[in-house]
Structure 1
Amino acid sequence: MSHAHDHDPTVPREALIAIAAVLLAVMGLAGAVRLGIVPQSANPELSRAAANVAPAQQRNLRFADREDGAVLVTDADTGETVKVIGFGEGGFARATMRRMAKRRMHEGIGPLPPFTLTRWQNGALSLSDPQTGETAEIHGFGADHSATFAEMLEGARS
């Protein structure tokens, strides 16, 4: 009988040490960025400011849950219905709005102050909450998700 496949199946100690060192370095860098020790290199707001990218289109919006489970999106300036996102539709848009609304609730801010949806000169989209300072960069999540928010800008001021 051959002993050609007779070997120790354990991972070498040096490889485990190398993996642990890489994991610690990654976690340390992520923590340093999170704590502000190391600046974020991909901050869209700072990048736009540095490149003097101005808003091309903006619309102030309010979001309200309806009894049927739909989300009603209205223009905060005119009261016009902008979009109705039916129950079970628009998962990304719902999640984005809900995350921002949850932060407002946590800070004791009601639904009355509007959110601002902006299309920038470079084509990027962002939804911001002037009350909390939170911004969601929409364009980074793909064309389908961007299209849902871009539809909300139809008829908006330029």
Structure 2
Amino acid sequence: MSETVRKSGHHADSIPRGVLFGAGALLIFAFSMAFYGRSSDSGAVHMPQAQPYQTLRLFFTDQADGGIAVTDADSGAVLSMVAPGTNGFLRSTMRGFAHARMLGGIGPQAPFALTRWNDGTLSLIDDTTGRRVDLDAFGPNQSASFAKLFPAAKAPTR
């Protein structure tokens, strides 16, 4: 004969008191360590702020055939002609910037700033809207579509 001992009443499904104290102590310890880490900056890694190395001020102008003319705002030289239906990353990036300007009621008069930082990264910045896209976040193939504009600025094509 086997007898099953069954608890009944108030303490039938309770968690042992020692386990509760242990869990509470663990929570208090975890929160106190998190607070200490945030308030003391302990273990934080700080990267030096990148400085602009080279900046191009650019206009991106839609063409009648569906292409895009990329023009140096300072010299007026056409740096690149993006053929219709090509360079989807450049097109979609500029479409996002144009949309932000349209929402803000801002026209195409101000150039965009393509900046190469001293750590080698690239950013496209619109000072009129405050929008900034770090192009390297999309991978080297995508940022290369903008990076090739820097050598073109030294030897413009017309």
Is the TM-score greater than 0.5?
Answer: yes
1:145 counterpart (126, 142, 148):
142
2:71 matches 1:79: no
Considering only CA atoms, is the larger Rg found in Structure 1 or Structure 2?
2
The alignment's C-alpha RMSD in Å is: 1.6
Percent identity, aligned pairs only, is: 43
Q: Pick closer, same or farther for the CA change 1:101–1:70 going to 2, 3 Å.
A: same
2:146 matches 1:119: no
Q: Specify every segment of 5 or more residues in structure 1 that has no aligned partner in the other structure, as ranges.
A: 1-46
Contact 1:58–1:156 (8 Å) recurs in 2:
no
Where in structure 1 do 4 or more consecutive aligned residues deviate above 2 Å?
A: none
Contact 1:92–1:145 (8 Å) recurs in 2:
yes
Distance apart, 1:80 and its partner CA: 0.4
Query: 2-side partners of 1:116 and 1:156: how far apart?
Result: 13
2:85 matches 1:91: no
- Give the secondary-structure state (helix, strand or coil) at the position aligned to 2:151: coil
Moved more, 71-80 or 148-157: 148-157
- Give the secondary-structure state (helix, strand or coil) at the position aligned to 1:139: helix
Contact 1:57–1:156 (8 Å) recurs in 2:
no
Query: 1-side partners of 2:79 and 2:141: how far apart?
Result: 18
Q: For residues 1-158 of structure 1, what are the structure 2 equivalents within 5 Å? A: 51-154=48-151, 156=153
Query: 2-side partners of 1:93 and 1:79: how far apart?
Result: 20
- Give the secondary-structure state (helix, strand or coil) at the position aligned to 1:74: strand
TM-score (norm 1): 0.65
Distance apart, 1:127 and its partner CA: 0.2
- Give the secondary-structure state (helix, strand or coil) at the position aligned to 2:123: strand
Distance apart, 1:142 and its partner CA: 1.2
Query: 2-side partners of 1:126 and 1:52: how far apart?
Result: 14
TM-score (norm 2): 0.65
Distance apart, 1:106 and its partner CA: 1.0
Distance apart, 1:84 and its partner CA: 1.0
